[in-house]
Amino acid sequence: MPERRTVALVTLGCARNEVDSEELAGRLEADGWQLVEDAADADVAVVNTCGFVEAAKKDSVDALLEANDLKDHGRTQAVVAVGCMAERYGKELAEALPEADGVLGFDDYADISDRLQTILSGGIHASHTPRDRRKLLPISPAERQESAAAVALPGHGPADLPEGVAPASGPRSPLRRRLDGSPVASVKLASGCDRRCSFCAIPSFRGSFISRRPSDVLNETRWLAEQGVKEIMLVSENNTSYGKDLGDIRLLESLLPELAEVDGIERVRVSYLQPAEMRPGLIDVLTSTPKVVPYFDLSFQHSAPAVLRAMRRFGDTDRFLELLDTIRSKAPEAGVRSNFIVGFPGESEADLAELERFLTGARLDAIGVFGYSDEEGTEAATYGDKLDVDVVAERLAHISRLTEELVSQRAEERVGETVRVLVESVDEEEGVYGRAAHQAPETDGQVLLTSGEGLSVGRMVEAKVVGTEGVDLVAEPLAGSLACSEEAGR
């Protein structure tokens, strides 16, 4: 019997890429490929790249070069680039990086097995030719669902899936194979974005916004629960737009309680929310539904009106603070995180001071800060009034120092609170770590439990916060509070 072909998936970038990698894994395993963790043990190393900003693109290139080095002294015979960077640059990436044996776009995902076999056999598959994916679906959101079947939408999966792709759970199984044993998993709620932020190129290679049907999201969540997942995180480029192409912009408000009722699911988290699209009903559901955590990943980007207008965004410091006050009036313990860009073209000292005013008053739990740099194909890249790179670097360093202090202060405010922690790692030497409701995976810090007796990965435990380490919390499990994963509540 011939030895099975082996493949390793190396994933960079955001949680949406992680979902896409697990879709590729599901397709490959269904077609007979053996999935391995280490690229050195694989016939083919597939690198799921990120194409968002320069640093992410550099990481993607480094990962491809590192995988290529394995061809000289390991089992690896081919290295293939997929993901956002491959979709965005296609042939250009292939020419600039001949070490990649293939550069595949989203349109290749449905035939990923054949593509890899061709490359592994020494054949040549023409590198992906980039195109503006916003033009693949109708301008009107109401007309998009009918056209969706003809467009590659990673992480969505077809309505009727091939036999054996995943264990059955309901009428449809997700086109997905888990790549780790984590008790948390992301679920794609939608793809693409209709916003036209002047600094962002994502819509051009991810396409226009299109929602997944609620039944598909529910069935995938049920399947994940069967795999031992306790927390799901809903991801997309903009979750606040969910349902607008399905005829109901409030569809998320009705879907969240249904997801929370799935057997085995302890926690439902929503990421990627647009402040300008937040509505009272959604805030109510996020702050009052059992198992749906009061967590707000709000994309503020800045707070000075002039800078926001140049970014093609809306709002200002006072309106943003009012939004946060509304949220905390309903859920004082709510977690809030956001990202910000400093050094945007035309940003004045007064604009920077306005951003500082917002940050100081916002009491955010986690903050990401980025210095502006041109992204080709974006409106902002054509702007004049660019700031000197040294000025951008100086402002980035200044705001970064400020935000470090602010998130540490916010963590200290939580000392004395009782938090419900999902245990994610148990190690005799390093200790027991998990996350509270206000902490999303990998981005918002974690909780170190002072005692790990009786705890295992995937368990929920009530604990009292007794200290902090920067953004991280130190918490003491409450006597008799160990909660089996079947327990409901938040």
Angle at 289 between CA 187 and CA 475, to 5 degrees: 80
Instruction: Give the separation between CA 223 and CA 163, rounded to whole angstroms.
Output: 15
Instruction: Name residue, tokens 């082996």.
Output: 6
461's tokens: 């435990």
Helix (H, G, I), strand (E, B) or coil at 190: strand
Determine whether 63 is exposed, middle or buried from the number of CB atoms within 10 Å of its CB (0-12, 13-18, 19+). Answer: buried
Closest listed residue to residue 459, CA positions, set 422, 428, 432, 487: 422
Amino acid identity of 357?
A: R
Closest listed residue to residue 116, CA positions, set 165, 166, 180, 47: 47
Q: In this structure, what DSSP letter does residue 378 have? A: S
265 bridge partner residues? none
Q: Are 94 and 86 in contact (CB under 8 A)?
A: no
Instruction: Name residue, tokens 């992410």.
Output: 56
For 278-329, the DSSP string reads --HHHHHHHHHSTTB--EEEB--B---HHHHHHTT----HHHHHHHHHHHHH
For 142-173, the DSSP string reads GGHHHHGGGS--TTT--SSPPTTSS---SS--
Side-chain-facing half-sphere of 348: CA atoms under 13 Å: 6
Determine whether 418 is exposed, middle or buried from the number of CB atoms within 10 Å of its CB (0-12, 13-18, 19+). Answer: middle
Closest listed residue to residue 286, CA positions, set 321, 215, 239, 334: 334
14 is in an annotated binding site: yes
For 12-56, the DSSP string reads -SSHHHHHHHHHHHHHHHHTTPEE-S-GGG-SEEEEEE--SSHHH
Helix (H, G, I), strand (E, B) or coil at 189: coil
Closest listed residue to residue 292, CA positions, set 320, 260, 264, 324: 260
200 is in an annotated binding site: yes
Which strands make up the sheet holding 34-35, listed edge to edge? 34-35, 6-11, 44-49, 78-82, 102-103
484 is in an annotated binding site: no
* First CA to last CA distance, the chain: 51
Which residues line the annotated binding site?
14, 50, 84, 193, 197, 200
Which residues line the annotated binding site for [4Fe-4S] cluster?
14, 50, 84, 193, 197, 200
